Amino acid sequence: EHKQTINFGAGPAKLPPSVLLQAQNELLNYSGTGISVLEMSHRSSDFNKIINKTESLLRELLNIPDNYKVLFLQGGGSGQFSSVPLNLIGLKEDRCADYLVTGTWSAKAAKEAEKYGKVNVVHPKLDSYTKIPDPSSWTLNPSASYVYYCSNETVHGVEYNFTPETNGVVLVSDMSSNFLSRPVDVSKFGLIFAGAQKNVGCAGVTVVIVREDLLGHALKECPIVLDYKVQAEMNSLYNTPPCFSIYIMSLVLEWIKNNGGSAAMEMLNKQKSSMIYDIINASNGFYVCPVDTACRSRMNVPFRVGKKEGNEALEKEFLDGASKRGMISLKGHRSVGGIRASLYNAVTLEDTKALLLPLLVIYVLT
Ligand code: PMP
């Protein structure tokens, strides 16, 4: 018996089936050109239409103000860990940047920034990534070039439900794993970046939204392909961009638009994640999510089975039960173990409901 596969992967992640079908339909002959987007010159007028359409859809979906540039770059989220300091740490002479370190990804970003300037971690070091220190405990440096945070920590399932107040210092956010999962007031940020492979497409392209006045401050050793000013002036075409990934993003953005935009995504994502957290909360400690309730991620739900540290036999039983029902990629990140269900935009309510069955089955049987 063939069961439909449900992909709960943390990224690359599920894409809307209609997007895949459209890409398939257009693969051999894109819009009457007789060729595939994979084979198309990035300087052709056809590709120009694709990249411009992708940008205008993003501007529309996020209400991006006119004084922001939108870039489509290679190098992934990790490429931005170095691009951000290379471009922005020189905004002020001190070359100092404030970092909030609330999980694996912000920790990696802070470590990379140390190569280019001084990094100040604004709160006491966390011994586990399960909470966001209260803003009253942060010591922000008023002469920092920028304040950096990761709005959703994919590995630990820690998500900000507020925008940090920086008292005028440029705010930078890694939104790789919750981009377009809810509305965001772009005007509060100096820079937002996000890899596409979770909520808005496939691997290969990273979106950068950057306020114009921040361009032109790159360190002199900044590689030219990472220089936001150069890429902004060239409409992300200084060199060959990830053309096909940009095309896939345009299809996903259209899908988001047709499904109600970022506000509709937010409602859906809240509903989906609540279903899982409700079961965890009602399980009398059988399922354990270590994350503070105030910052539990709507995108990545990490939990242990059986007890706080996880009962490996029961976790295997859960994964086997899920796998028998066609559900894949539910294993927690190798650094934390346990289970992680990622519920990005393309994961439907029905997909999420399906997960309740294997959750209830071992709960009831144990
Ligand atoms: N930031 C976050 C929040 C991520 O989840 C990831 C990847 N999972 C990255 C950065 C790194 O992205 P990439 O693998 O594209 O370099």
ipTM entry: 0.99
pLDDT at 110: 98
CA 134 vs CA 45, 92, 138, 284: distances in Å: 50, 27, 7, 28
Nearest to 300 by CA among 327, 329, 326: 329
Residues 53-101 pLDDT 10s: 999 999 999 999 999 999 999 999 999 999 999 999 999 999 999 999 9
State the pLDDT confidence band at 294, using cuts at 50, 70 and 90.
very high
Q: Write the single-letter amino acid at 338.
A: G
Provide the 3-class DSSP secondary structure of residue 99.
Answer: strand
Q: Is 9 in the pocket of ligand 1 (CB under 6 A)?
A: no
175 Cα nearest atom in ligand 1: 3
Q: What would the mean pLDDT of 220-231 be, rounded to a whole number?
A: 98
Residues 119-173 pLDDT 10s: 999 999 999 999 999 999 999 999 999 999 999 999 999 999 999 999 999 999 9
108 counts as catalytic: no
| DSSP strand pairing (287-288 vs 300-305) | antiparallel
For atom 5 of ligand 1, the residue with the nearest CA is: 154
81 Cα nearest atom in ligand 1: 10
105 counts as catalytic: yes
| Residue in 14, 92, 105, 255 annotated catalytic | 105
Q: Is 77 in the pocket of ligand 1 (CB under 6 A)?
A: yes
11 Cα nearest atom in ligand 1: 8
174 counts as catalytic: yes
Residues 182-225 pLDDT 10s: 999 999 999 999 999 999 999 999 999 999 999 999 999 999 99
Hey, which of 176, 300, 336 would you mutate to test ligand 1's pocket, going by the most ligand atoms within 8 Å of its Cβ?
A: 176
pLDDT at 2: 52
Q: Let me know: does 190 contact 69? Beta carbons within 8 Å.
A: no
**b/e for 123-147, b at 16 or more Cβ within 10 A?**
beebeebbbbeeeeebebbeebbbb
How far is the C-alpha of 232 from the C-alpha of 310, rounded, in Å?
48
Hey, which of 72, 158, 177 would you mutate to test ligand 1's pocket, going by the most ligand atoms within 8 Å of its Cβ?
A: 177
State the pLDDT confidence band at 3, using cuts at 50, 70 and 90.
confident
pLDDT at 274: 98
